[in-house]
Structures are given as structure tokens and as C-alpha cells.
Homo-oligomer: A and B are copies of this chain.
Amino acid sequence: MTVQIAILGASGFVGGELLRLCVGHPDFAPVRLFGDSQAGAAIDKAHPHLALAYPGMRFETYEESALDGIDLVFAALPHGASQAIAGTIIDRDIAFVDLGADFRLRDPAVYETWYGEPHRAPDLLGHFVYGIPEIARAEIAKTRCVAAAGCYPTATILALKPLVDAGLIDPKSIIVDAASGVSGAGRGLKESTHFNAIAESYSAYGLVSHRHTAEMEASLGATVLFTPHLAPMNRGILATCYGTATGPMAADAPLEALRAAYADEPFVHVSETPPSTKWTLGSNAAHITARYDPRTGRVLAISAIDNLVKGAAGQMIQCANIMLGLDETAGLGTCGVHP
């Protein structure tokens, strides 16, 4: 079986990563690459690292007729863009994995609160499953539309959900302090992502107002204070998460809760050692640890992922595999490129 794939946003970082991973996928064939800003250009203009794998392919401008014959659409578009095209894809009954924020929140009012504008396709929200396979595998298997989770929420939810579900932490007490590599900010040119702005810089941004907070809160059923930081590295997210313990517990109780939750997961590694983003580079793995601190009565949980793989393209492929009934791990690896 070959799945004919269209990628919207194919010239961006996530687009490149989808293309890289599809090379190793036995069933996925990217056949239409939409990237308006690069339309007409050869693929290696935007992605020189893919030159040998996709000789002769070019980016093109999106138009609806280009979806003829497509089995699966991956969209990695700027915020808001998916609302305009989702209807078409759904009407054509094409499997759809969207990485935008547009369909991640079930409640359009919450969307409006955090995104500052009304949702333009609220009637379509019900089609989408929030895409983190480890917490919604069954629902993903039954849907045609996945709103793949963002990078920060994926790292956070994987670290905290088993602890909230096990009743170990107070869901109203959560603080998430996370750091991301620069690719999370996308490929657009900004002062803040100039090499000289980043090298030797570590700083916080989006104080008390980052939009990904809404996803974390919705998925965890929690109140979250989230502070993202930009770290001088290409890739990786580390989420260091704090919650007030619901009561005294063994020091390793949180770790055991994680181990129990993820015992059969192919992409989640739970260990006592604090993880590094570096272990995940280029892979779909998540590495997680946790502790109870009896001195302060808090639980600490830390997770590391590659923001472009488990936090984006890899998760999209994992969701698509499930949705299409394929081997969930097809095209995806667990080994980071190290060092």
C-alpha cells in the first residue's frame, strides 16, 4: 500500500522533517509539496539536506484541485491557516493531520480567549482528535482528522498526565518551566532568531501568556503557569514541571506512576536519570523522569523530546500510522543522533 501524501507548508522546518521521515517510511509517498513562498523552486533550495532523496521534486502553490488522488494531508501552516482549508479536506474525506493550533482546543471560547480572535470554523472542531497517541490512541484510530499536539504541550502532558491521573499532584498547582531549541520558532526571519541573538543567550518569553498553556490545561484538566524559554540549540524541548503533592508519598512514587503508564509505549523511556534534549535529536522518543521532594511537598517531573519530531513531524506520522491502520512505528526511530 502506498499512501499518496500532500504536505502543506512543505518548505518550512516541519515540512522538511516530514519529508526526511517519509524517506524511511515503507508506505508514505509525498507527491505534492505546497509551499507558497517557494513555489516553483526545487526541493533542495529549501532543503539541501534532502537533495539526494527527492531529486527533481519542486514546491508548488496550493490549490484545491491538487488534492485529487491524495490519501493523506499533512499541514504545518502558520496559525489560522488550517481553518480556511480544513472543510475542503474533510469534504473530500482525505485523512488529515494538522499541526496548527486551529483544531486543538475543543471549546471555541477558550480558543478565542488565548488567540484573541473568534474561531472561524467552530463546526469542524468536533471532527478532530487531539493528537498525542500515548493518551488518545483509540480515538485517533477511529478518526479521519487529528490536531497533532504542539511541542511544549506534548512534553508537558507526557510528563504530567499519569501523575494527575494517579492523583499524586494537585492539578490547580502546576508550574511548567520549559526550554526549546530555536527551530520551534520556525523558519521566518526575526531578530530574535538571528544567530547572534541566540548564541550565548538563554531567556524567557511569552511570560504568563503563552498560547500553549490552553492546550496543557485542557488536556490535563489543570491550571498551569507556563514559562517558555529559548535555549541556544537547534532542537529539543525540556519541560521541567512542578506540582504540589496531594500528600506524602514514597520518593519514587511519581517515577513508578510514569513507568506503569508507559510500560508498553514504543517511544517513551522512563528512567531515574534526568533526561537531556540531546538524547532525542532526530528521533520520536520521549525521555521522562520524576521525583517527590518531601522537603517542599512537591512533585517534579521532567521530559525531553525533539520539538520537530515527537513535538511535530514524528507525532504527525505516528498519528497518521494509527489512523490508517499501519504499524504505529513505521518511519519513526527511537535513537537520537548523538553526539
Q: Name A's B-contacting residues (CB within 8 A).
A: 13, 16, 19-20, 23-24, 44, 47-53, 175, 177, 179, 181-183, 187, 189-191, 193-205, 207-208, 223-225, 227, 229, 231-236, 238, 240, 242, 266-267, 269, 271, 273-283, 285, 287, 289, 291, 293, 295-296, 298, 300, 302, 304, 333-339
Given contacts A199-B233, A229-B238, 14 further A-B contacts (CB under 8 A): A16-B339, A20-B338, A48-B338, A52-B266, A175-B175, A187-B196, A199-B278, A200-B236, A200-B339, A202-B236, A202-B238, A208-B291, A225-B298, A227-B300
CB pair A49–B280 under 8 Å, yes or no, is: yes
Contacts of A52 in B (CB 8 A): 266-267, 269, 285, 334-335
Q: How far is the CA of A23 from the CA of B233 in the complex (A)?
A: 26
CB pair B204–A238 under 8 Å, yes or no, is: yes
Closest CB-CB distance, A57 to chain B, in whole Å? 13
Contacts of A289 in B (CB 8 A): 207
CB pair B282–A23 under 8 Å, yes or no, is: no
Copies of chain A in the complex: 4
Closest CB-CB distance, A270 to chain B, in whole Å? 10
CB pair B51–A287 under 8 Å, yes or no, is: yes
Contacts of A231 in B (CB 8 A): 179, 202, 231-232
Contacts of A181 in B (CB 8 A): 200, 202
Contacts of A273 in B (CB 8 A): 48
Contacts of A304 in B (CB 8 A): 202-203
* Beta-carbon nearest neighbor of A292 in chain B: B208
* Beta-carbon nearest neighbor of A182 in chain B: B195
Q: How far is the CA of A175 from the CA of B296 in the complex (A)?
A: 10
Contacts of A202 in B (CB 8 A): 179, 181, 231, 233, 236, 238, 276-278, 304
CB pair A339–B235 under 8 Å, yes or no, is: yes
